[in-house]
Amino acid sequence: MALETGGFVPKGNLDTDKNALGKSGQKETIRKVLNSLKKYRLLIFISLILASVSVIFTLLVPIRIGDAIDHLGEGPLSYEKNDLNSNLIMAGLFALIVGVSQWLMNLINNRITYLTVRDLRNRTIKKIHSLPLKYIDSHSHGDIVSRVIADADQLADGLLMGFTQAFTGILTIAGTLFFMLRLNAIITLVVVVVTPLSLFVARFIASKTYDMFRLQGRQRGEQTALIDEMISNEKVVKAFGREEAVMERFDEINGRLRESSLKAIFFSSLTNPCTRFVNAVCYALVALSGSFYVLSKGSNELLGGITVGTLTVFLSYANQYTKPFNEISSVISELQNAIACAARVFEVMEEEPESSDTENAELDEVKGAVEIKDVDFSYNKDVELIKGLNLSVEPGKRVAIVGPTGCGKTTIINLLMRFYDVDEGSVSVEGHDIRTIKRKSLRDSYGMVLQDTWLKKGTIRDNIRIADMNASDEEVIKAAKATHAHSFIRRLKDGYDTVVGEDVGGLSQGQRQLLCISRIMLGIPPMLILDEATSSIDTRTEMRIQEAFATMMKGRTSFIVAHRLSTIKNADVILVMKNGHIIEQGDHETLLGMKGFYYELYNSQFQGS
């Protein structure tokens, strides 16, 4: 936790994100998004068909309206009422078809979008599970959460806008061009020459917005990281009077986020007015040139005049032709944000995962023989932690690990569970190097209780059953009684059906710890790891838990990390660590007799008692 190191947000990790995003260029990110859409080709094809139907009938409506206007323009005695009614009815029917097809298209586009984003989220979470613990430990958790949630949402917004507007926009441009050319090539040329200027304007602005949106996403992740850390550690913030410092840090991040957001919004907001100005000019030119053709009808065969109804159709088409350019320009701005966010999501998915263990052997018939041989390990290659560590543990032995903070106690646990791989040497179980064993098989052989508790959102019964999802209610209660958790659970309003979670439920830290210990009691594996397992429990309860632990550890290899030396007196072997080395080894009485470092540690805890 950053509070322990004197800071609040690991800025260094977020700064490296800028370079990481650069690995996937804009085109490469788009390619990856398109690859994610491949499995929904059928839905995309149906969406395209519906878009085509919508565009075709949208373009047929003005023709019917134009015919009706021409009939009216010929005077009340020269048109058939049935022709007028027929044109209006057909225009209404075409509009209805457009509405239904667009409704169905939007339903399908929403489905494509959110299924795709769901898949990306699932792949990201699955990838996070496959990443080495080193990645999780070295990156801000808030920033990772921001990528999975906020950035994926931004990608969804961009995809939805792209499907809904880009498809129909492109088809509308092609369709209006076809119909306009059939009516008058010269006026069509006016539209074609002027309108693409809006695309050039949009493209120029879009090139400026991508970097701004990418910076915005990175700073949003930094802000999420700070908020996540502050909410998780609000008691510490208040206890040390760090509220003002936190607010200053938040204001600083918020200021940078505001600046990058305003710049991104400024450039993207230029797109619409600029393209609309170009489109208004186009509309005016069509109206002007079309008017000359209307006035020349019947008097100038060279110009080949047009009717008022045809001019109305042209003006409608000019609007429909220019509208997609406005929409596409808006889509481009939105896509800049979506692509920048997608790059952050893909950056997590492209991290190097843990080495594959599919070909490794299953670990079976575990008795608890563990050997650590000539192990070197450090989290930071520049800072040596464990050097030349050797340890041989016979099955059924209780091994306690003690020493000052930072000496490597928890690191040994990380290596035993293969949360980290050794730099040099080997860790073996039953004579097998754990790098040749499937991780799940190895970890299933350990029962682990940590100092930090974790409860999922659910009932107390469900939380205890995590160790064995098939356990009966009687077995759950038996495990809770063994840890002395049954008494406080019974006093709760809903008993074992009480809903709890990481931050809800009204349970004390000690009660949470008892529930975590009950899990291990439910399904006891052949080896145990107790890392400060009773640190949050009062002394009286701890004495009862130690009795339960003694029963649980009987005949099982157990590794016990403890600061309170009174809890490990009965260990078969006590390893005294300092600076990554085992400096003393033996049982409690032997180590006291040596009057070495363990003797000093023990007396420092019990002097004056």
Per the prediction, the chain carries an average pLDDT of: 78
In a domain, 438, yes or no: no
Per-residue confidence (pLDDT) for residue 78, from 0 to 100: 45
Do 345 and 494 share a domain, yes or no? no
Give the model confidence (pLDDT) of 171-182 as tens digits: 888 888 888 887
In a domain, 514, yes or no: yes
Q: Which of 524, 554, 571 is the last residue of a domain?
A: 524
Q: What is the C-alpha separation between 335 and 158, in angstroms, rounded?
A: 5
> Residue 174's Cα: distance from chain center in Å?
39
Do 154 and 286 share a domain, yes or no? yes
Q: Which of 303, 318, 349 is the last residue of a domain?
A: 349
| Residue among 29, 379, 329 at smallest CA distance from 200 | 329
User: What is the spatial order of strands in the sheet that 370-377 belongs to?
Assistant: 386-393, 370-377, 424-429, 432-433
Per-residue confidence (pLDDT) for residue 72, from 0 to 100: 64
Which range has the worst mean pLDDT, 3-17, 201-215, 245-259, 470-484? 3-17
In a domain, 432, yes or no: no
User: What would the mean pLDDT of 539-565 be, rounded to a whole number?
Assistant: 78
Do 338 and 483 share a domain, yes or no? no
Domain that holds residue 170: 26-349
CATH number of the domain that 246 lies in? 1.20.1560.10
Q: What is the C-alpha separation between 65 and 112, in angstroms, rounded?
A: 35
In a domain, 97, yes or no: yes
* Helical residues (DSSP H) of 41-195, grouped into ranges: 41-73, 81-130, 133-138, 141-146, 152-161, 167-183, 185-194
In a domain, 30, yes or no: yes
Question: What percent of the chain is modeled with pLDDT above 70?
Answer: 84
Which range has the worst mean pLDDT, 140-149, 499-508, 571-580? 499-508
In a domain, 113, yes or no: yes
Do 148 and 281 share a domain, yes or no? yes
560, two tokens: 């016990």
Structural domain count of the chain? 2
Q: Looking at the predicted structure, is the pLDDT value of residue 81 above 60?
A: no
Do 149 and 286 share a domain, yes or no? yes
25, two tokens: 């260029």
Question: What percent of the chain is modeled with pLDDT above 90?
Answer: 4
**Hey, what's the torsion of the CAs at 541, 547, 548, 549, to 10 degrees?**
100
Q: Which of 303, 327, 349 is the last residue of a domain?
A: 349
Backbone angle region of 144, left / alpha / beta, with phi > 0 → left and psi within -120 to 50 → alpha: alpha
In a domain, 423, yes or no: no
**HSE on the CB side for 94, CA within 13 Å?**
17
In a domain, 94, yes or no: yes
- CA dist list (Å): 191 to 184, 196, 278: 11, 9, 11
Q: What is the C-alpha separation between 485 and 38, in angstroms, rounded?
A: 52
User: What would the mean pLDDT of 316-336 be, rounded to a whole number?
Assistant: 72
| Residue among 43, 52, 59, 55 at smallest CA distance from 107 | 43
Give the model confidence (pLDDT) of 222-276 as tens digits: 888 787 777 767 766 776 677 788 888 888 888 888 888 887 778 777 766 777 7
Q: Looking at the predicted structure, is the pLDDT value of residue 4 above 50?
A: no
